[in-house]
Amino acid sequence: MIRFISDLHLNPAEPATTDAFLRFLDGPAHECETLWILGDLFEYWAGDDDLENPFNAQMADALRAVADSGVDIRVIVGNRDFLLGPVFAERAGVSIVAEPYPIELGGTPAILMHGDSLCTDDLPYMQFRAMVRNPAWQAQFLAQPLAVRRKIAEDLRAKSEMAKQEKDVGIMDVNAGAVERAFHDSGAAVLIHGHTHRPARHELNVDGRACQRWVLADWHGKAQWLEWNGSALSAQKEQ
Ligand code: LP5
Ligand code: MN
């Protein structure tokens, strides 16, 4: 069994979602051979020294307990937690891998992404993303004290919420050309991603091949996941 989750946006101000995550780790996560976290596990991540925050440490340790029981937990970072790094990975017992990440589902080639890189119509975000994904920029950012970084991240969250209210909802979805390119460049027939908070299964044709794009749900107090049971993908949620 492989399960895929994303967009939990964990933070102490959302205890219902935190509880749902802990329930998920105690139950459904243990049934997985591999658990994939496709980005935005945390509301934001200001650097691995953010493990000083007891909430973040508790989340990492909860993941570690599942990893220690034999589940292979793999993480693709999101636009909120792209600064998750090796210290977090070690503590949580997870592997952080680059996107797009190729896997096979019953012999069918698939790729996994967070999904933000597909939103190419959102030009202000694309500019912002290019800046913060630059290693030199990240090194400079991480050189600042944790308290300063946390403040910047929180200010930025507020700015992002304001910016989104002014954006046309259409530009915040994936761009059809970017999706086609992802299928074309990888040769995959299945793409699984999160980010847009528009859970769905889309059927499309690329290069004469039938392709499927699965979009994961964001969490609001209930666990939601996509599941590969060895023969099919299906969206699931806790009752
Ligand atoms: O996350 P969400 O769903 O609200 O919106 C995203 C895009 N916004 C972001 C920003 C994150 O929410 C906040 C990131 C926290 C990261 C913490 C790590 C520390 C890094 C600190 C970096 C300074 O990703 C949003 C998209 C939306 O998805 C849909 O796809 O629209 O994009 C934006 O809102 C970006 C704005 O359009 C442009 C922002 C310009 C602000 C520039 C300030 C630069 C400050 C630099 C300070 C050193
Ligand atoms: Mn996201």
**According to the model, what pLDDT value does residue 239 have?**
85
Query: Model pTM?
Result: 0.97
Tokens (6 digits) for 83: 């600064």
* CB of 137 closer than 8 Å to CB of 129: no
Residue nearest (by alpha carbon) to ligand 1 atom 29 = 172
Tens digit of each residue's pLDDT (9 = 90 or more) over 4-47: 999 999 999 999 999 999 999 999 999 999 999 999 999 999 99
- CA-closest residue to ligand 1 atom 10: 160
Q: How far is the CA of 88 from the centre of ligand 2 (A)?
A: 19
- Using an 8 Å Cβ cutoff, are 70 and 35 in contact? no
Query: Do the strands 233-237 and 224-228 form a parallel or antiparallel pair, or are they unpaired?
Result: antiparallel
| 16, 5 Cβ separation under 8 angstroms | no
Count of CB atoms situated within 10 Å of the CB of 5:
25
Q: Which amino acid is it at 81?
A: D
Q: Which-ligand-closest: CA of 8?
A: 2
Protein residues with CB under 6 Å of any ligand 1 atom: 44, 46, 79-80, 83, 116, 119, 122, 124-125, 128, 132, 152-153, 156-157, 159-161, 163-164, 167, 172
- Can you list the domains of the chain with their CATH numbers? 2-115+183-237 (3.60.21.50)
Here the tokens at position 12 are 């102490």
